[in-house]
Amino acid sequence: MQNLIDLLKSGENQLMRRILAYARRFDYAKYTSTLEEAWRMSIAGLTDSIEKSWNFYGRVPEFGPDDDFRSDPAAYFGILEAQRHRERGVSLCMFLSFFKYYRQTYMDHVREAGFEQEYMEEALRFLMCVFDRMEIAYCDEWSGKSCNEMLLELQAANRYMTNEKNAYLTVFESVSSPIILLDAEGGIVNLNYQAAVLVDSAIKPGQNYYSTNGMRQFAAMHSDASGDDAMAQINRFTGSRLNEHFGWLSNSLEFSGVNGDNSLIYEAEYPAPNGEKRCFEVQISRMLDVSEKFAGTLIILNDITERRNMLEDLKFLATVDPLTGAYNRRHFFDLARRELLRAQRYGRRLSLIEADLDHFKEINDTYGHHVGDEVLKLFVKTVADMLRTSDTLGRLGGEEFAVILPETPQEAAFETAERIRRRVAELSYTSEKGEVRFSVSIGVAGIEACEGCVEDSVEELLKRADFALYDAKKSGRNSVKVFS
């Protein structure tokens, strides 16, 4: 029989797939796992029992009236399997009926092996006797249990499964990220505590997992409403559509389920009841349905509010001058180049004004740098309030600033600069050492409509405005000059 044993061991995958196909075809899979690895283990254990039977008997194991089938090496693995299935509430009839398909699986595999007729008949006879001895051992083991023993066995198994369920629920409820489980139609099947409190902050951990009576009693104890009303409060999630309770999730994606096996990740903002906005990274994927009984969708929400705020802060620090709130030099040049490119591409006008506070060093020396900082902030706020939303204000360094004015000829830019100059001359800042007044000198430069004209650059435009600014300072400061 060594050829038979070698055939069974090398054909483990074929045997596993054949018995799994029987389980699915005849609806046994709904009572057991459909994981291939679980079936592979059962095939490996069964083949091992067949090999041990040959090593023990060395012949076809015929039957005798005094045989002890429980100690038969052929039946050892099968008896363990029978005990496991009985503990799960499987009946002897159900177990034996499906075991017939195990026999059929092995018999078919041998018939298709291409053995010579005489050897094949002997191998089939050997297998048939081994499987018969297993079945007799199952029945003997099963019938040897009293009703009370079987009841105690089931109770122990139920306690074990209940503890496993409680362990799952403890983990599920303890996860800090909200989790939502949807069925194949997109209805809510379950959600953990962190997800439930996004809908109702009064929800308590584990509130969804009591039995019907227990839930009614629990709800009545923790609610002013009647038991049925409180029960409805708890069960309002199950079976409802996602958009009934999580509209901010479904509306942002028009979510009705994930098609195919692909996962999806996106961001969504949650409008908290206290008015604060929280941001979640939404991970959506099909459930890994290893048992083919729980098709549906898994949604995990990761709170990235703090991370987003940090990114916004970093973005702010990377683009904005922290003292005045104007764009910093680098970001100003990036935005100015973008505007200049647009003007060159579409043949539009664009102007730049460069401003420098007059005698700013004297303000610092006389009143202190902290007063100088306040003067800079006052200047930027005043100028920003006078500009259009399309204009860009940046701090080039120290007390030097620049403004890009899209769609603006030099004449109009000069008028804007003059208004700024006059308004700044009216400003004052009250310090501990007295009132501080200051002025600004401004240079203006621009490009005329020139479609396809690319010889200008921001640096060149700024250089022209700088020449005009020099003229303004040379002429006595507190003035505006245009580059010509």
Domain ranges of the chain: 2-144, 175-308, 320-482
Task: Using alpha carbons only, give the angle 88, 93, 97 rounded to the nearest 5 degrees.
Answer: 105
**Do the Cβ atoms of 429 and 375 come closer than 8 Å?**
yes
Confidence of residue 236 (pLDDT cuts 50, 70, 90): low
Confidence of residue 110 (pLDDT cuts 50, 70, 90): very high
Res 249: pLDDT: 79
Does 232 or 299 have the greater pLDDT score? 299
Superfamily of domain 2-144: Globins (1.10.490.10)
Per-residue pLDDT at 252 exceeds 80: no
Mean residue pLDDT of the chain comes to 82
**Do the Cβ atoms of 343 and 351 come closer than 8 Å?**
no
- Across 47-61, 137-151, 364-378, 387-401, least confident range: 137-151
Q: What pLDDT digit, counting tens, does each position of 217-234 carry?
A: 334 434 444 444 434 444
Task: Give the number of other CB atoms < 10 A from CB of residue 289.
Answer: 12
DSSP string, 155-189: HHHHHHHHHHHHHHHHHHHH-SS-EEEEETTSBEE
Does 174 or 430 have the greater pLDDT score? 430
- Would you say the C-alpha torsion 370, 371, 373, 378 has a positive or negative sign? positive
Res 230: pLDDT: 39
Task: Give the number of other CB atoms < 10 A from CB of residue 381.
Answer: 14
- Across 279-283, 369-373, 400-404, 406-410, least confident range: 279-283
Percent with pLDDT over 70 in the chain: 83
Res 28: pLDDT: 82
CA-to-CA distance for 150 and 144, rounded, in angstroms? 10
Per-residue pLDDT at 289 exceeds 70: no
Confidence of residue 473 (pLDDT cuts 50, 70, 90): very high
The CATH architecture annotation of domain 175-308 reads: 2-Layer Sandwich (3.30)
Q: Does the pTM of the predicted model rise above 0.75?
A: no
- Would you say the C-alpha torsion 321, 325, 331, 334 has a positive or negative sign? negative
Res 203: pLDDT: 74
CA-to-CA distance for 96 and 139, rounded, in angstroms? 9
CA-to-CA distance for 149 and 152, rounded, in angstroms? 5
Does 250 or 482 have the greater pLDDT score? 482
Res 93: pLDDT: 85
Looking at the domain covering 320-482, what would its CATH class be? alpha beta
CA-to-CA distance for 269 and 381, rounded, in angstroms? 31
**Range picked from 87-91, 120-124, 192-196 for highest mean pLDDT:** 120-124
Residue type for position 117: Q
**What is the widest separation between alpha-carbon atoms in the chain?**
127
DSSP H helices, 246-299, are 247-253
Does 451 or 179 have the greater pLDDT score? 179
**Range picked from 290-304, 340-354, 451-465 for highest mean pLDDT:** 340-354
CA-to-CA distance for 293 and 263, rounded, in angstroms? 20
CA-to-CA distance for 137 and 279, rounded, in angstroms? 61
Q: What is the mean pLDDT of residues 264-282?
A: 84
Confidence of residue 141 (pLDDT cuts 50, 70, 90): confident
SS3 53: helix
| Distance in Å from the first CA to the final CA of the chain | 106
Q: What is the mean pLDDT of residues 281-302?
A: 75
Res 320: pLDDT: 94
Res 142: pLDDT: 73
Q: What is the mean pLDDT of residues 361-372?
A: 95
**Do the Cβ atoms of 60 and 129 come closer than 8 Å?**
yes
Res 212: pLDDT: 40
Closest to 352 (Cα-Cα) out of 483, 469, 444:
444
**Do the Cβ atoms of 462 and 402 come closer than 8 Å?**
yes
Sheet holding 179-183, edge to edge: 188-191, 179-183, 296-303, 277-286, 264-271
